[in-house]
Amino acid sequence: MTKIDLLTADPLKKKTGALVLGLFEEEKTLSPLLSSVDSALGGEIARMRKNGEIRGKAGETTLLPTYGRLSARFLLLAGLGKAGSVTSESLRKASGSAAAVLRSRNIPEAVTTLALGSADPVADTEAVVEGTLLSLYRFETYKSDREEAPYALKSLSVAAEKKDEKAAETGRRFGEVISRNTILARDLGNHPANVATPTMIAKTAEEEARKRGITFLSYDREKLDRMGLNALVGVARGSDEPARLIVLEYRPDKPANDRPFLLVGKTLTFDSGGISLKPADKMELMKGDMSGGAAVLGTILSVADLGLPVHVVAVMPATENMPSGRANKPGDVVKAYNGTTIEIINTDAEGRLILADALSFGIRTYHPRLVVDVATLTGAVVVALGGQALGILGNNEELIERTRKVGEATGERGWPLPLFEEYFDQIKSDVADIRNTGSKGGAGTITGAAFLHHFVDETPWVHLDIAGTAWVDSNEPYKPKGNVGMGVRLMTHLVKDLAEHPLAEAEKAAAKGGRKARRA
């Protein structure tokens, strides 16, 4: 991975391969930094700008040799779009585009000024670091003739003002840690399902947990059967690949929260649909159906790496969903860990089954203050929000709104969908307590969340449906085609935010002696 450090000295004086400068669209005057670079280059930037040869549009990059007129061998101008519309996310994208150019030109080191003089040096430095590291990511494990250096950019100095040094260093550290663990999540999602099995994911989680003093537990199918996690075991029974329930606990010395935050991630290592078999077209993408689990793993590792004073438990139900003589059949009824009986109408609605048990097991075992679950749960969320936002649902308005805000700030945006009482009618069963798919068509994402609600009761809970955002089918500025590692950034910041500013309701409940918060 590219080495990243801070530079508080004059970025124009540093001898380096390339100097990265941001350029706004439709800006009349050049920034002081751009002006001094412009005069060193004999007014060339102003000239190109006047001719419309460079515009500063978002995504635009212009690489210019400096012929010894600057300490940097090259100048790389990165378009930022209109000045008024710049956000951390646009800096993340511009940094990603810049890093791609630096790599393609084999430039080993560079200085970036994209976060220099920012009004929010913590968030913007983090964004520049993430944009760079996440853009350079490649998954080439199975390529026989790999590129020589997958991370050609060896080191990057992020320029910051002296007065912002502490803030920028915080941002740098967050960016580095979150990127590293996002890359771990991406790798797990990009490995084929014959490699990233529940066993392999458990082993990875165990090794990473051990390095950080995180407690690791794993339950196999026989144990889960004895414990009564029948909804999870039912799905696992159709597959020959051993299933696991993976549990990680990070408990720092003086946590801000007495009771933990519980993170639950769908870790379905291959979703064939089971007896309700999926069509062949694009089925290979279902190796990524474990992205929710990878996200909670990446999050708890980040929390530990950053030493955040937050008590966190991550639960990952890991299994395949396969058709076989022992698989769930439409019409089968299973009794979940919390006693709810479920009629399985469609074996392809398996994510909610394994999450049901993971949620109620996690809640009963760890008495969390709140729960976040994350899952590639429904194709319907792709219809509703496409690749631009994840679905946010839950039982606590404040938690939903806080999640939306953190999503906005971190560039992993989500948008709320309702959970009106009437939607719960859609999962009433004739033979059991509930059914696993809606009796009426429509609102598939909501039906999935309504189902999960039966397993969280009163605990403040938010559900993130990432089916539309977990992977991309073409390259985006800092998201190479493939798995995105979606959710690590959002959840790491959400956990931090909730520890620093507890939910008002949870505070009230704690004051009343630990009574659980009510459903909103």
Q: Is residue 181 part of the contact set for ligand BES (CB under 6 A)?
A: no
The Cα 483–Cα 486 span in angstroms is 8
The reply to whether 346 sits near ligand BES by the rule CB under 6 A is yes
Please identify which of the residues 352, 369, 413, 435 carries the catalytic annotation: 352
| Among candidate residues 400, 409, 366, 406, the one with its CA nearest the CA of residue 495 | 406
**Coil, strand or helix at 205:** helix
Question: Does residue 350 interact with ligand BES by CB under 6 A?
Answer: yes
Q: Which does 150 bind (CB under 5 to 8 A by kind): ligand BES, Zn ion, Mn ion, none?
A: none
Residue found under tokens 């075991």 = 233
Enclosing H/E stretch for 518:
none
Q: Based on the number of CB atoms within 10 Å of its own CB, is 151 exposed (0-12), middle (13-18) or buried (19 or more)?
A: middle
Residue 380, interface with ligand BES (CB under 6 A)? yes
For ligand BES, the closer of residues 131 and 448 by Cβ is: 448
Distance from C-alpha of 353 to C-alpha of 230, rounded to nearest angstrom: 9
Question: Residue holding tokens 């159906």?
Answer: 289
Residue 393: both structure tokens together: 């649902």
Ramachandran region, residue 228 (left: φ > 0; alpha: ψ -120 to 50; beta: rest): left
Residues 446-475 that bind ligand BES (CB under 6 A): 467
Binders of ligand BES in range 287-306 (CB under 6 A):
289
Q: How far is the CB of 305 from Zn ion (least distance, A)?
A: 29
- For residue 238, the Cα-to-chain-centroid distance in whole angstroms is 29
What does 198 bind: ligand BES, Zn ion, Mn ion, none (CB cut-off 5 to 8 Å by kind)? none
CA distances 98 to 59, 148, 442, Å, are: 9, 20, 42
Considering beta carbons, is residue 150 or 387 the nearer one to ligand BES?
Answer: 387
> Are the beta carbons of 472 and 135 closer than 8 angstroms?
no
Binding flag, residue 230, ligand BES (CB under 6 A): no
Burial of 516 (0-12, 13-18, 19+ CB in 10 A): middle
Cα→Cα distances 266→315, 381, 432, Å: 9, 16, 24
- Output the smallest distance, CB 275 to Zn ion, in A: 14
The single residue listed with the structure tokens 């992205």 is 291
Catalytic residue, candidates 259, 278, 516, 519? 278
Among 126, 271, 320, 357, binds Mn ion (CB under 5 A): 271
Furthest-apart CA atoms within the chain: distance in Å: 81
Closest CB 296 distance from ligand BES, rounded Å? 16
Cβ atoms 2, 156 nearer than 8 A: yes
Q: Which two tokens stand for residue 262?
A: 């519980």
- CB of 19 or CB of 380, closer to ligand BES: 380
Smallest distance from the beta carbon of 348 to ligand BES, in angstroms?
4
Q: Which is nearer to Zn ion, 263 or 322 (CB)?
A: 322
Q: Which is nearer to ligand BES, 118 or 437 (CB)?
A: 437
Interaction mask 283-312, Zn ion, x per CB under 5 A: ------x-----------------------
Is 180 tagged catalytic?
no
Instruction: Choose which of 112, 328, 376, 396 interacts with ligand BES (CB under 6 A).
Output: 376
Task: Determine the Cα angle at 111 with ends 109 and 114, to 5°.
Answer: 135
Q: Which does 170 bind (CB under 5 to 8 A by kind): Zn ion, ligand BES, Mn ion, none?
A: none
User: Which residues, in sequence order, are CB contacts of 339 under 8 Å at separation 6+?
Assistant: none
Q: Does 275 bind ligand BES (CB under 6 A)?
A: no
What residue number has its CB nearest to ligand BES? 379
Q: Does 378 bind ligand BES (CB under 6 A)?
A: yes
* CA distance linking residue 419 with residue 95, whole number of Å: 38
**Choices 305-313, 341-349, 417-425, 478-486 (CB under 5 A): range interacting with Mn ion:** 341-349
352 is catalytic: yes
Question: Judged by CB under 5 A, which stretch of 235-243, 271-279, 322-330, 481-489 contacts Zn ion?
Answer: 271-279
Cβ proximity to ligand BES: between 27 and 332 the closer is: 332
Compute the least distance from the CB of residue 59 to Zn ion, in Å. 33
Check binding of 343 to ligand BES (CB under 6 A). Answer: no
What own/partner pairs with CB < 8 Å and gap ≥ 24 does 31-38 have?
Answer: 33/113, 33/116, 36/12, 37/12, 37/70, 37/75
Residue from 351, 394, 448, 485 touching Zn ion (CB under 5 A): that is 351
Task: Name which of Zn ion, ligand BES, Mn ion, none residue 444 binds, using a CB cut-off of 5 to 8 Å depending on partner kind.
Answer: ligand BES
Residue 272 binds to ligand BES (criterion: CB under 6 A): no
Q: 279: Cβ–Cβ under 8 A, 6 or more apart, which residues? A: none
The residues facing 25 across adjacent strands are 82
List the x/- string, 345-364, binding to Mn ion by CB under 5 A: ---x-x--------------
Work out what residue 467 binds among ligand BES, Zn ion, Mn ion, none; the CB cut-off runs from 5 to 8 Å by kind: ligand BES
Beta carbon of residue 387, minimum distance to Zn ion (angstroms, whole number): 18
Give the number of residues in contact with Mn ion, rule: CB under 5 A. Answer: 3
Q: Which of 499, 186, 231 is nearest to 354 (CA)?
A: 231
CA-wise closest residue to 258 among 366, 396, 403, 365: 366
- Does 379 bind ligand BES (CB under 6 A)? Our answer is yes
C-alpha–C-alpha distance, residues 25 and 20, integer Å = 16
Binding-site ranges for Zn ion (CB under 5 A): 268, 271, 289, 351
Q: Could you list the active site residues?
A: 278, 352
Binding-site ranges for Mn ion (CB under 5 A): 271, 348, 350
Binding-site ranges for ligand BES (CB under 6 A): 271, 289, 346, 348-351, 376-380, 382, 437, 444, 467
